[in-house]
Amino acid sequence: MTGIDGKNVRMFDPYYCDQEYEQKDIIRVLDQPTCCNRIVPWKYFNKTALNMYSLGPYDGREAVILFNEKTRLTEEETIEYFI
């Protein structure tokens, strides 16, 4: 997943194929090689069934969280305002 645009998720599909899917709301992206190669509605992800793009049962889900050390906010670099 590389971004969220309204109700859609931008993503790189590692099993990319040249044919369109039967689901007409899954969009194949050919002109954004640094952004994504698929735009998939969130409704496909938010399911516990083992369907295409679904996240599956809750007990089998895992997450990897990545962040950029260069843009990380620390206490010294953060300004707080109290009103």
Domain extent at residue 23: 1-83
As a whole number of angstroms, the longest Cα–Cα distance in the chain is 56
Nearest-10 Cα torsion for 33, 35, 39, 40: 120
At residue 29, the pLDDT reads: 92
* Band of pLDDT at residue 11, cut at 50, 70 and 90: very high
- Give 27-83 pLDDT, tens digit per residue: 999 999 888 999 999 999 889 999 889 989 999 888 887 777 877 777 777 777 666
3-state secondary structure at position 38: strand
Count: domains in the chain: 1
Torsions phi, psi for 71 (to 5 deg): -105, 5
